[in-house]
Amino acid sequence: MDQTVKKAFHRAVKKEPFPKALNMELVELDDGYSAVEMVFDPGSMGNIFNMAHGGAIFALIDEAFETASNSHGTVAVALNVNITYIASPQPGSRLRAEAREVSLTRRTATYDIKVEDEKGKLMATCQALCYRKRDKVPFL
């Protein structure tokens, strides 16, 4: 991946309000691949059972999906996201979502996304499909 493009994505993600609110960090990026991390804070990301709120895990998955699917420089938007929640992380766990491109066509792309904690314990899996527009990513 071109280093100028990579740096532009890192700058854009650091400014993005929602991931910033959850202290997400884009840690790896390549063509069709992304890894995003955050620390699970039950005080701001917990549900009524004191477990991780599904929305917090979804947000981490979505950020990895967003960055991986747009990494080719063409705007991509989600069409379908199917998540299976497997386990709830321990408080303070560092979670990592990795999105890997499975299929890429002119109009669509499919991604396999996994969320694990720092010990490698699987928290969630996801299959995601995006629509690839003709527009170039605006910040590149």
pLDDT in tens, 21-41: 999 999 999 999 999 999 999
pLDDT tens digits for 37-92? 999 999 999 999 999 999 999 999 999 999 999 999 999 999 999 999 999 999 99
CA distance 115 to 102: 17
Indicate the pTM of the whole model: 0.97
Of 34, 37, 6, 7, the residue nearest 22 (C-alpha): 37
CA dihedral 33, 107, 102, 112 (to 10 degrees): 70
Label the pairing between strands 122-136 and 94-104.
unpaired
pLDDT of residue 130: 98
Identity of the residue numbered 41: D
The answer to whether 53 and 46 are in contact (CB under 8 A) is: yes
- Burial of 44 from C-beta contacts in 10 A (0-12 / 13-18 / 19+): exposed
Neighbours of 72 (CB within 10 A): 17
Domains and their CATH numbers in the chain? 3-136 (3.10.129.10)
pLDDT of residue 90: 97
